[in-house]
Amino acid sequence: MQNLGRIRRLTGGGLLAGVSLAVLCLPGVAHAQDEGLSQEDANKIIVTGSRISSGAPVGATATVLGREEITQSGSITIDRVIKELPQNFDLGVSENSRAQAGGSGNIVYGNTVNLRGIGPYATLVLIDGHRAVNNSRSTDPSVLPTLGVQRIEVVANGASAIYGSDAVAGVVNLIPRRDLDGVEGFARYNTAEDGAFDEWSAGAAFGKIFDRGQVMVAFEHVERSNLSGDDRKFYTSNQLPIGGNDYRVTGCAPGTMIIDGTTYALPDQYTQANAGAITPGTSNRCDSQIGQDLFPQQKYNSLNGTATFEVTDWMELFFDGYYSKRKFRRKGAVISAQLAVPETNAFFVRPPGFTGSSYTIDYSFVNDIPTSETTGSAESWQVSPGVRFNLPFQWQVEALLSYGKTKDFSGSYDGLNRGALAAALASSDPATALDPYGLGRTSQSVLDGLFDQIFLAPTNGELTFYEIGAHGPLFELPGGEVKLAVGYEKQDFTVELGSARGAPTTPISFRTFDRKVDSVYAELLVPIFGAGNATPGLRELELTAAVRYDDYSDAGDTTNPQFGVNWTPFYGLKLRGSYGTSFRAPTIPEIYGNSNALFGQLYQNPSGGAPLLGYTLSGPNLDLGPETATTWSVGADIEPIDRLRISLTYFDVAYDNQVTALLSNLAILAQERQYAGTGVILHDQAARDRIQSLVDQGIPILLRPFPGDDIANVNLFVDGRSLNLGKSITRGIDFNIGYSAEIGKDDVLTLNASGTYITDYKVAVSPVAEQVDQLNLIFQPLKFKARFVANWDHGPLSLRTMISHVGGYTNNVVTPSEKVDSYTPVDLSLTWRVGETFSGPGLEGLELSAEVRNLFDVDPPYVNVAPGPNGSGGYDATAANPIGRQFAVGARVRF
């Protein structure tokens, strides 16, 4: 069999074992350093973006990260390996920031891939070329252990004509290992310089290649501590000392008394004996997000396996499968509330001259209860057996059945019980009353009863995926074989969205939805010029055309074509181009909503000062339609001299009917003018009328943050449902420059500079709105991201330096706008192949490594933005890492 032959040829140092990450960075195709692996063979391993091309997809490029690249990265999970690529933007579905579109659905604090910042759901993540079961929102690449992945292939090009929905910005294909013949194990420990954060990981993989097949199993365990915002000085509400705004709130301990609109700062000890020790117009001020995590605590267990068996010379069985469970624990901010304190309260203090029966206190429970917590897990498994037949005339038929399940769960058990709060405030018995002055007089039993409300959000998914496809040559042209691929796919996906809010005994209620998709596709490859008829100026000319039809049971049907061309006029230069249409069916939670309720949230105030209270609507939008896109690109791959390779790609993505979810966007007021006339943002009486109308329809208010429980005190409404709001246009350039040189007998130096430069990002939030330039603004795609890697192999030692760069941008969520500095951390790692220095049992395959991340301890650039529950605050969580300098040591053994 052709594939088994490939496995056998590459057994030994591992597939792409000699390839340096410095050479494979964006956006070029794989280049081999191993003398036994030719450039042609290296290209042939790429399987993503085409059903029939033997190398990179015609008209586009592919980034290939092989075993060495994954190992050298030092990242403990696959999602973090991919996150290092400059084309990947950390917007939306991220463990550290959930404030962008799609972030509110990230209930389990996972990660996904967001190529070029186009959207967290616009990049399709595949496993060995087929779809993976997910939570109906996005796929987290960390479901596979790093040891179980042979390579990662990234094609940043629209590919709906090949793969269907979601492949608007591109495709990431995780290829499981099939060439391991032996055992590989590793252990790694990493810690922040100040000890506020650490992580460790360990794993082992076993593989065996035999005469007619192979088998491989890999397992990893990862533990990653939380990083508290209290341990980072830049994560603060009082940003006046560093040139920002004062975002502190008045809900503190002791709190701030409010009588007829006048505020009074309460002293540390406030009793009837010093009732007059308050001054009108004063207030206590404190941080709004005390105790909140910037990164949650995470624990991973991941297992995957592959098997291949050649039954006969014409039939081969294959299999891949995985199991993954990730647990998380995230500490949220200490709960605050506005307390209506009646004179019946057992601890009531009456200020001099006060004749009323109650007043209000903005109060924080920071000294009464621990910080709130959310815990949960993301568990998934999938098995994908298949059979492959070699037919006459070099045709091949492949059939695959894939079945998997996922269970996501997020739960909090310490929410504020509003009914119990009112009763405790009204109680005249000190044993059952709440002390609103923070003197520690509230009994533990009362506190336990105040914070017993649950919020449980499970999501269960089940995917059955069928595929049968055939490909092979049709006839021979002077330029080569004309090839065709055709196939049929069927998806049957069921998702259960569950929720439980309220008392501890509240049962979980589920809503069940089914989606079925039938798809047919065809792809044609025509080599006009090739080895058989090459002429000057036309050394190679390849054309490809693909088309796919998808019929959704709940989102209509769509047909998407794609065309590509490669032209090599002479050796050392390849010109390419592609054009196609893509689409994305809205996810089930986008259509039907994660919940149907109103939530109170604190929004970034563009004028500065404390955040503004607003209510946002979460719920279904049954009129939501699919997104569509037109994508095209042109580029060149240049090799002017030996070992120097340059790749340039210009891309254009016009995205229509784009789905935007504003539920978690706490900085939306900076874009308010764009939403004029849409009804998405309402103020004052219009906001109160809209909220009251929803309440009258039975929509509950599930979260009422301070200040105020009464709708009459609310002046802002935001429609947080998923909406088809309009169009975006993204244009830019990907570049990759790689050079490799032998500088001595045992010295090889590889250099690479790669990045993405976005030239245009314009958005119209409604079909009738004008397009507004959003490029290089906070929480939007940034103009420039780049990376430089230098790798020096000196005998048994390898020294790797990586410089990552995020260009400066504008923070427009404050007035006046702020210029944010660039961010350029430097990482340094050293690997010692002990077996090349010493001989002996167990030493031959032993490697030791040491690494310093953020070598110069560069702090995130200051960003004038209030701390919020979904990330950022004094820094931008989507563009910078708050951990600081880190040290890591590791060991790896192969035998």
Q: What is the DSSP string of 36-100?
A: TS-HHHHHHT--TT-SS-SSSPTTS--EEE-HHHHHHH--SSHHHHHHTSTTB---SS-SS---S
Model confidence at 606, pLDDT cuts 50, 70, 90, reads confident
Asked whether residue 359 is assigned to any structural domain, the reply reads no
CB-facing half-sphere around the CA of 42: CA atoms within 13 A: 24
Secondary structure E strands in 296-444: 297-310, 315-331, 336-342, 358-364, 373-390, 396-415
Q: Rounded to an integer, what distance in angstroms lies between the CA atom of residue 358 and that of residue 381?
A: 57
Give the chain's end-to-end CA distance (angstroms, integer): 27
The predicted pLDDT at position 704 comes to 63
pTM: 0.90
Identify whether the C-beta of residue 294 lies closer than 8 Å to the C-beta of residue 233. Answer: no
Model confidence at 7, pLDDT cuts 50, 70, 90, reads very low
Query: Residues 237-267: pLDDT tens digits?
Result: 999 998 899 999 999 999 999 999 999 999 9
Query: Residues 669-725: pLDDT tens digits?
Result: 988 888 888 889 999 999 999 999 999 998 888 766 544 457 877 889 999 888 887
For the sheet with 716-719, list strands across it.
681-683, 716-719, 612-618, 597-603, 701-703
The predicted pLDDT at position 663 comes to 82
Average pLDDT over residues 876-884: 95
Full domain range(s) for residue 66: 2-230+296-331+376-412+457-590+625-660+724-894
Higher per-residue pLDDT: 618 or 522: 522
CB-facing half-sphere around the CA of 13: CA atoms within 13 A: 12
Closest CA to 24 of 62, 77, 73, 75: 62
Domain of 535, CATH number, reads 2.40.170.20
Residue 9 in this model has a pLDDT that exceeds 60: no
Average pLDDT over residues 459-470: 96
Phi-psi region of 166 (alpha: psi -120 to 50; beta: other; left: phi over 0): left
Residue 891 identity? A
Residue 218 in this model has a pLDDT that exceeds 80: yes
Model confidence at 570, pLDDT cuts 50, 70, 90, reads very high
Of the chain, the percentage scoring pLDDT greater than 90 comes to 75
Cβ partners under 8 Å of residue 654, min gap 6? 629, 630, 631, 727, 728, 729
| CB-based burial label for 19 (10 Å; 0-12, 13-18, 19+) | buried
Write out the H or E segment, with its range, that includes residue 295.
Answer: strand 293-295
| Residue 472: DSSP 8-state | E
Closest CA to 544 of 581, 583, 578: 578
Asked whether residue 303 is assigned to any structural domain, the reply reads yes
Helix, strand, coil fractions of the chain, as percent rounded to 5: 10, 50, 40
The number of helix segments (H) and strand segments (E) in the chain equals 10, 41
At residue 182, the 3 state secondary structure works out as: strand
Burial 559-584 (b: 16+ CB within 10 A, else e): ebebbbbbbbbeeeebbbbbbbbbbb
Q: Rounded to an integer, what distance in angstroms lies between the CA atom of residue 839 and that of residue 836?
A: 7
Query: Residues 629-652: pLDDT tens digits?
Result: 999 999 999 999 999 999 999 999
Average pLDDT over residues 201-227: 97
Asked whether residue 772 is assigned to any structural domain, the reply reads yes
Average pLDDT over residues 387-414: 96
Query: Residues 131-157: pLDDT tens digits?
Result: 999 988 889 999 999 999 999 999 999
Average pLDDT score, the chain: 90
Asked whether residue 646 is assigned to any structural domain, the reply reads yes
CA separation (Å) from 251 to 357, 439, 452? 22, 15, 21
Asked whether residue 484 is assigned to any structural domain, the reply reads yes
Range from 285-299, 377-391, 456-470, 760-774 carrying the lowest mean pLDDT: 760-774
The predicted pLDDT at position 85 comes to 94
Average pLDDT over residues 867-874: 88
Query: Residues 473-484: pLDDT tens digits?
Result: 999 999 999 999
794 backbone dihedrals φ, ψ, rounded to 5°: -125, 90
Asked whether residue 429 is assigned to any structural domain, the reply reads no
The predicted pLDDT at position 45 comes to 56
Average pLDDT over residues 589-596: 85
Residue 894 in this model has a pLDDT that exceeds 50: yes
- CA atoms 719, 590, 87, 408: torsion sign: positive
Closest CA to 415 of 450, 443, 446: 450
Of the chain, the percentage scoring pLDDT greater than 70 comes to 94
Q: Can you name the residues that pair with 659 across neighbouring β-strands?
A: 724
The predicted pLDDT at position 844 comes to 87
Query: Residues 82-136: pLDDT tens digits?
Result: 999 999 998 878 898 887 776 777 889 999 999 999 888 899 999 999 999 998 8
Phi-psi region of 225 (alpha: psi -120 to 50; beta: other; left: phi over 0): beta
Residue 409 in this model has a pLDDT that exceeds 70: yes
Average pLDDT over residues 349-374: 95
Q: Rounded to an integer, what distance in angstroms lies between the CA atom of residue 424 and that of residue 447?
A: 9
Q: Rounded to an integer, what distance in angstroms lies between the CA atom of residue 470 and that of residue 395?
A: 7
Residue 34 in this model has a pLDDT that exceeds 70: no
Number of structural domains (the chain) is 1
Helix (H), strand (E), coil (C) string for 562-613: EEEEEEEEECCEEEEEEEEEEEECCCHHHHHCCCCEEEEEEECCCCCCCCEE
Closest CA to 345 of 223, 455, 432: 432
Model confidence at 361, pLDDT cuts 50, 70, 90, reads very high
Average pLDDT over residues 824-833: 97
> Do you know the residue count of the chain?
895
| CB-based burial label for 276 (10 Å; 0-12, 13-18, 19+) | exposed
Residue 302 identity? S
Residue carrying the six token digits 């706008």:
817
Cis amide bond preceding 882, omega within 30: no
Residue 96 identity? N
Model confidence at 31, pLDDT cuts 50, 70, 90, reads very low
The predicted pLDDT at position 703 comes to 66
Query: Residues 743-775: pLDDT tens digits?
Result: 988 899 999 999 999 999 999 887 777 889 999
In angstroms, how far is CA 401 from the centroid of its own chain? 28
Asked whether residue 776 is assigned to any structural domain, the reply reads yes
Model confidence at 29, pLDDT cuts 50, 70, 90, reads very low
The predicted pLDDT at position 11 comes to 34
Asked whether residue 266 is assigned to any structural domain, the reply reads no
